[in-house]
Amino acid sequence: MDNGTSSAAGPSTCHRHRDRITYLRCSRCERHICGECSRDSPVGQRCPECAGVTTRVVPARSIRSGMTPAVLVIIVISVAAYLAQRLNARFTIDYAHITVAVSAGEWWRVITATFLHSTGSIVHILFNMYALYLFGPYIERQAGVIRFVALYVASAITGGVAFQYLADGGAVGASGAIFGLFGAVLVGTYPLRHTPAGAARFRQLLLLLAINLALPLLVPGIAWEAHVGGLVAGMLIVGAWQRIPPGPSADLARTLVPSILILAGLLAVFVA
């Protein structure tokens, strides 16, 4: 009996809506699903039947940006830090990522620099906070507050480690963490690229990536090393999440993935 799937790669009909051609498959039962039936989960798209049993779901058609708790807190901290920098230049000197200072044992600079931004232009913080607002809530809703924060911090630290080992001098900015979000969305929405919501996320992501990849060629002094480190971290974390089988220990396992990367990054900073 035809169940709406196909053994060959390519489109078929949704198993619930036989008049709709689709490329999507449920990541659990592998039945074809259309964009309306697709449910996002930390391990890819699911059909309504599988999603209702194993995951906390958000319908793909209703995915949208909007403020979430962790994103709001990060934005508030970043803006407050920026204002402190404008009021007292010493604040930047004390908490920026300065490679010689980190090598001397001030490891916390790898983290604190994430909440600082260049005071020479407001564009730096505006762009990073806009990217956080655009992509952060989507990830936070899917992964949960704790795992989102862990992913953000892990990406920031990994970007800082890359800067520490590949560059010399000083750096500020959330770009490593933001690129971690880019990597997370890139991997997480890849299976949804044929749905309206997934296609929209890809267009937004590709535009921001193109701008950021071009900036080091146009503007000197941009810490591209942190960008690359954060991007790789976000892709690795979500890629690992997608391979964790469903079960009672799945949430704990997903929390451990970025936590391990955080510890590994801090260890790399200690021995730098």
What are the phi and psi torsion angles at 36 (to 5°)? -70, -35
**Do 32 and 6 touch, CB atoms closer than 8 A?**
yes
Per annotation, catalytic residue among 12, 118, 175, 249: 175
**Residue 70, token pair as written in the block:** 């962790």
User: Catalytic: 78?
Assistant: no
Instruction: Tell me the β-bridge partners of 41.
Output: 44
User: Catalytic: 32?
Assistant: no
Tell me, what amino acid is at 119? T
Per annotation, catalytic residue among 117, 227, 249, 259: 227
Work out the burial of residue 10: count CB atoms within 10 Å of its CB; fewer than 13 is exposed, 13-18 middle, 19 or more buried.
Answer: exposed
Whole-number Å distance between alpha carbons of 244 and 61: 25
Whole-number Å distance between alpha carbons of 42 and 185: 11
Q: Helix (H, G, I), strand (E, B), or coil: what is residue 22?
A: strand
Neighbouring residues of 94: CB distance < 8 A, sequence distance ≥ 6: none
Instruction: Tell me the β-bridge partners of 46.
Output: 39
What are the helix (H) ranges across the chain? 48-54, 69-87, 89-95, 99-103, 109-112, 123-143, 145-166, 175-188, 196-218, 224-242, 250-270
Exposure letters 250-265 (e unless 16+ CB within 10 A, then b): bbeebbebbeebbeeb
Whole-number Å distance between alpha carbons of 82 and 92: 9
Known catalytic residues are 175, 227
